[in-house]
């Protein structure tokens, strides 16, 4: 065995493997030995004898698997990216520090769990234990550290509870709606967006808001700290540096922040099925959260076993606990539940002192924190972090005596994403699960539950401000007339236990009952309903669901928009021979966006043309910069019920529109892939594939980049299929993580994590799951010790060093 010593952040190791069956680490900070069994797929099953040791080991092993990802996360969380990249990231670090949590951190940690301080501190101690080991053994550092010439730094609990990932903020949409209202008026803005449910929100701009001043620059700092780190050739040491930056690869990386911009990509699917509708007669649960596809994955799977804990599933690798999974009593999963937890406040500032703003007819001083940002190859930057009573000042228009600040509910105690899952991890009943949900502030989520006693349920969560005199959809004055009155207790948010139809699926659609009494605490913006409609269609047809049925639905490629558009081509032949061939192929199609399908290739190009031209039809040219696209729901409604935008004869105009867009699609396909329809196959390398570009790919030598990147492989689907693969030729978003649970037998659980568990390119678990994932496969996520041992590939033992506490 290999014996590795860790003491007082100094380690030594000897290489001796008499049995050849496990590695051992001798560690200070442990109370008792911990055993880690790593299965064939790279999932660590951690068996500890104390709670503290359990989370120490989780932090230790996660850092071992994802050390570079951990270091980038730490720098983003602490606002220290400029230390290694230079002045170009000054605004990122400034934004991070503006939104840094500065309240009582002990109270914060205990909010997430009664033992939260112990758990989070143990987790960071485990991370630091592994970092310390690398300091004494730098040769084991992943290649990214060597290429950048940096070393990992120690963690504190403040890194774990940071808000830098800022999940699901809608402040950008509020600014955009404000600009749209100023340019087009309320009525037109409402008609071109899809606000729901029930009625029309008030999106009028207060007379004190000058729409001419609502520029995109207002959110520059806010957006800067929420995007992924971009590297340049100058960041890389010469021996690893590319001779020239690849613009082709760079163009593929421009969507790296898509999860912060696109509701369709950040969405997810989950559902629960009652035992009365399953073959096993026990409830089932499915979940596949949709985020950016990346290498390494944004999710990490683990199995945590210790006193009071036996939970398995996935979550963010940098956070202790499990966010999605099961614990032997119940299984749970999440999707986004739209909750508006941000507002953009606009202030009049004092012409003689811009650090004073008007509030309730009085000049009020901003609070100012002076901070210093260290910048690589430049002078340190001293910055003033300014705050109003509502939050950080993100922009000052001193020429017009205006300041802008963001109020965000996620800056309150308990606002770090997913950490409240620690309470869910130990829930044994629906009642205990709901109580745990009551602490889940961020993000707003649809939590579903299925337990072995036969219950299924839904509880929406998320900290929800109550606004009594405005919708929250546009910027408002910060003069005291627009204040949050309170937060809604989470258990009062929409929920249900054992629905009459025997199933419940969410897929990011609004499911709030129309008689719900707290309408002003529910958001107005929701994902397109296509996925939810398809999930519920399939769930409603089957009374004998199996795990195979669950897997088939989770990877379903049927397009509901296609089922709407394609039949409208019937009876409308084209005079263009190539277009007519395409029309007939579509009419003979089953609407499935399968790889290797010519029809799917034709349809995807046609759908893009429909979306582009419907925007041209409904949005004036001068207003088009305010609308990246129009909602598919609106597009379908307009196509099914055409109006005067299509001409004096709307139905004929609609039919002509569809044929013209089909011709444009055919021309586009011919230009890209040639005139042969057989070349228009969906799911080829040049047309719908998955290629995972490592974030350093553009700046390192090609032979190194080839080892870092993963793919390509063909894919199907699009942004409107249950298997959501987004709307780009390269799949940048969707479900990298999947889980399916049958509560009859926890060992029947299936999982997936693309492209692998490890972030170390030299690990066998770096991309070992990629091909199986790309073919929509799964692996068994075993729970019982017997089954885990049957698929164990590595054994690791962490041993307490009693001489060094």
The CA distances from residue 474 to 175, 180, 182, 719, in Å, are: 6, 10, 11, 27
CATH architecture of the domain with residue range 560-591+598-679:
Orthogonal Bundle (1.10)
pLDDT recorded at residue 805:
53
What does the pLDDT look like over 321-377, one tens digit per residue?
999 999 999 999 999 999 999 999 999 999 999 999 999 999 999 999 999 999 999
CA distance 446 to 417: 14
Are 547 and 740 in contact by the 8 Å Cβ rule? The answer is yes
pLDDT recorded at residue 199:
76
Over range 476-493, report the average pLDDT: 97
Residues with Cβ within 8 Å of residue 99, at least 6 apart in sequence: 163, 164, 166, 222, 225, 392, 406, 408, 411
Q: How is residue 476 annotated by DSSP?
A: E
pLDDT recorded at residue 266:
53
CA nearest to 602, candidates 644, 574, 641 = 574
The token pair that represents 600 in the structure block: 């799917």
Are 190 and 174 in contact by the 8 Å Cβ rule? The answer is no
pLDDT greater at residue 58 or residue 14:
58
Over range 606-635, report the average pLDDT: 96
CA distance 301 to 324: 9
What does the pLDDT look like over 715-771, one tens digit per residue?
999 999 999 999 999 999 999 999 999 999 999 999 999 999 999 999 999 999 999
pLDDT of residue 258 exceeding 70: no
The kind and range of the H/E element at 255 are none
Residues with Cβ within 8 Å of residue 415, at least 6 apart in sequence: 101, 163, 408, 409, 441, 442, 463
Q: What are phi and psi of 617, to 5 degrees?
A: -75, -40
The CA distances from residue 564 to 76, 360, 587, 617, 646, in Å, are: 44, 53, 12, 19, 18
The token pair that represents 191 in the structure block: 């008609």
CA distance 183 to 60: 54
The 3-class SS string of 749-802 reads CEEEECCCCCCCCCCCCCCCCHHHHHCCCCEECCCCHHHHHHCEEEEEEEEECC
pLDDT of residue 138 exceeding 70: yes
- pLDDT, mean over the chain: 94
* Percent residues over pLDDT 70 in the chain: 94
Over range 680-698, report the average pLDDT: 96
Q: Where does the pLDDT of residue 248 fall: very low under 50, low under 70, confident under 90, or very high at 90 and above?
A: very low
pLDDT recorded at residue 315:
96
The torsion angle over the Cα atoms of residues 660, 664, 670 and 672, rounded to 10 degrees, is: -160
Q: Where does the pLDDT of residue 485 fall: very low under 50, low under 70, confident under 90, or very high at 90 and above?
A: very high
The kind and range of the H/E element at 458 are strand 456-461
| Max Cα–Cα distance, the chain, nearest Å | 88
Residue 700 pairs in a beta bridge with 241
Q: Where does the pLDDT of residue 166 fall: very low under 50, low under 70, confident under 90, or very high at 90 and above?
A: low
Can you give the residue ranges of every domain in the chain?
560-591+598-679
pLDDT recorded at residue 197:
77
For CA atoms 485, 423, 68, 764, give the dihedral sign.
negative
pLDDT recorded at residue 260:
35
Q: Which of 262-266, 589-593, 619-623 is the most confident on average?
A: 589-593
Q: What is the CB neighbour count within 10 angstroms for residue 237?
A: 12
pLDDT recorded at residue 205:
98
CA atoms within 13 A on the CB side of 700: 22
The token pair that represents 520 in the structure block: 């002003």
Q: Where does the pLDDT of residue 263 fall: very low under 50, low under 70, confident under 90, or very high at 90 and above?
A: very low
The kind and range of the H/E element at 355 are strand 353-359
Are 27 and 132 in contact by the 8 Å Cβ rule? The answer is no
CA distance 510 to 339: 11
Are 521 and 498 in contact by the 8 Å Cβ rule? The answer is no
pLDDT of residue 28 exceeding 70: yes
The token pair that represents 519 in the structure block: 């309408």
Helix (H, G, I), strand (E, B) or coil at 662: helix
CA distance 513 to 99: 35
pLDDT greater at residue 616 or residue 199:
616
CA nearest to 779, candidates 285, 282, 279, 40 = 40
What does the pLDDT look like over 404-431, one tens digit per residue?
999 999 999 999 999 999 999 999 999 9
CA distance 450 to 499: 12
Q: Where does the pLDDT of residue 514 fall: very low under 50, low under 70, confident under 90, or very high at 90 and above?
A: confident
Q: Mean pLDDT lowest for which of 47-51, 226-230, 764-768?
A: 226-230
Q: Where does the pLDDT of residue 259 fall: very low under 50, low under 70, confident under 90, or very high at 90 and above?
A: very low
pLDDT of residue 9 exceeding 90: no
- Cis preceding linkage at 552, omega within 30: no
């Amino acid at each position: 065995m290999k014996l590795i010593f860790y003491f007082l952040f100094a380690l030594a190791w000897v290489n001796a493997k008499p049995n050849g069956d496990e590695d051992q680490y001798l560690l200070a900070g442990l109370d008792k030995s911990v055993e880690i069994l790593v299965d064939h797929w790279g999932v660590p099953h951690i068996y500890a004898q104390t709670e503290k040791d359990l989370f120490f080991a989780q932090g230790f092993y996660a850092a071992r698997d994802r050390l570079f990802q951990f270091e980038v996360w730490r720098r983003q969380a602490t606002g220290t990216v400029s230390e290694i990249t230079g002045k170009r990231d000054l605004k990122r670090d400034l934004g991070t520090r503006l939104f840094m949590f500065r309240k009582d951190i002990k109270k914060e940690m205990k909010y997430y769990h009664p033992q939260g301080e112990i758990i989070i501190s143990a987790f960071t101690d485990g991370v630091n234990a592994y970092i310390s080991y690398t300091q004494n053994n730098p040769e084991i550092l992943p290649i990214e550290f060597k290429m950048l010439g940096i070393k990992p730094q120690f963690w504190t609990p403040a890194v774990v509870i940071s808000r830098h990932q800022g999940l699901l903020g809608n402040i950008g949409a509020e600014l955009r709606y404000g600009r749209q209202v100023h340019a087009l008026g309320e009525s037109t803005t409402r008609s071109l967006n899809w606000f729901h449910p029930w009625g029309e929100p008030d999106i009028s701009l207060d007379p004190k808001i000058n729409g001419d001043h609502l520029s995109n620059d207002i959110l520059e700092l806010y957006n800067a700290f929420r995007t992924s780190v971009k590297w340049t050739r100058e960041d890389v040491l010469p021996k690893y540096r590319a001779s020239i930056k690849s613009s082709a690869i760079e163009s593929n990386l421009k969507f790296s922040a898509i999860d912060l911009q696109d509701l369709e990509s950040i969405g997810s699917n989950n559902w629960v099925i009652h035992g009365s509708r399953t073959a096993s007669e026990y409830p089932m649960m499915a979940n596949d959260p949709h985020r950016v596809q990346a290498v390494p994955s944004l999710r990490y799977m683990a199995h945590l076993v210790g006193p009071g804990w036996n939970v398995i599933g996935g979550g963010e690798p940098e956070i202790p606990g499990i966010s999605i999974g099961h614990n032997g009593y119940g299984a749970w999963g999440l999707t986004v539940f739209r909750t508006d937890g941000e507002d953009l406040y606009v202030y009049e500032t004092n012409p003689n002192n811009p650090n004073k703003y008007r509030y309730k007819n009085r000049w009020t001083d901003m609070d100012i924190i002076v901070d210093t940002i260290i910048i690589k190859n430049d002078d340190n930057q001293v910055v003033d972090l300014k705050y109003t009573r509502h939050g950080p000042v993100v922009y000052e228009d001193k020429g017009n005596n205006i300041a802008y600040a963001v109020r965000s509910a996620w800056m309150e105690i308990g606002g770090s994403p997913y950490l409240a899952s620690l309470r869910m991890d130990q829930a044994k009943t629906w009642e205990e699960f709901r109580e745990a949900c009551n602490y889940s502030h961020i993000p707003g989520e649809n939590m579903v539950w299925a337990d072995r006693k036969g219950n299924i349920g839904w509880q929406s969560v998320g900290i929800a401000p109550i606004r009594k005199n405005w919708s929250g959809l546009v910027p408002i004055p910060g003069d005291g007339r627009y204040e949050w009155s309170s937060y809604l207790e989470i258990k009062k948010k929409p929920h249900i236990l054992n629905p009459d139809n025997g199933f419940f699926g969410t897929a990011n659609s609004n499911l709030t009952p129309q008689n719900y009494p707290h309408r002003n605490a529910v958001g107005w913006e929701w994902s397109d309903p296509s996925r939810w409609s398809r999930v519920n269609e399939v769930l409603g047809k089957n009374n004998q669901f199996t795990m195979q049925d669950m897997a088939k639905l989770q990877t379903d490629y049927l397009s509901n928009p296609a089922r709407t558009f394609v039949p409208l081509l019937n009876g409308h032949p084209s005079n263009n021979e190539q277009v007519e061939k395409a029309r007939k192929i579509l009419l003979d199609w089953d609407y499935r966006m399968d790889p290797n399908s010519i029809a799917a290739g034709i349809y995807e190009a046609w759908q893009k043309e429909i979306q582009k031209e419907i925007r041209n039809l409904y949005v004036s040219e001068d207003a088009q910069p305010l609308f990246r696209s129009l909602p598919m729901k609106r597009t379908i409604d307009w196509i099914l019920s055409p109006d005067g935008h299509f001409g004096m004869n709307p139905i004929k105009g609609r039919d002509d529109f569809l044929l013209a867009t089909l011709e444009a699609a055919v021309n586009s396909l011919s230009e890209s892939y040639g005139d042969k329809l057989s070349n228009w196959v969906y799911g080829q390398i040049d047309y719908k594939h998955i290629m995972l570009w490592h974030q350093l790919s553009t700046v390192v030598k090609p032979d190194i980049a080839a080892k870092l990147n993963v793919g390509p492989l063909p894919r199907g689907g699009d942004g409107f299929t249950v298997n959501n693969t987004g709307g780009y030729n390269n799949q940048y978003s969707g479900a990298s993580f999947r889980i399916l649970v049958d509560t009859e037998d926890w060992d029947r659980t299936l999982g997936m994590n693309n492209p692998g568990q490890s972030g170390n390119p030299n690990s066998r678990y770096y991309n070992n799951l990629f091909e199986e994932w790309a073919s929509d496969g799964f692996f068994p996520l075993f729970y019982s010790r017997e089954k885990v041992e049957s698929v164990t590939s590595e054994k690791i033992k962490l041993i307490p060093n009693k001489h060094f506490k």
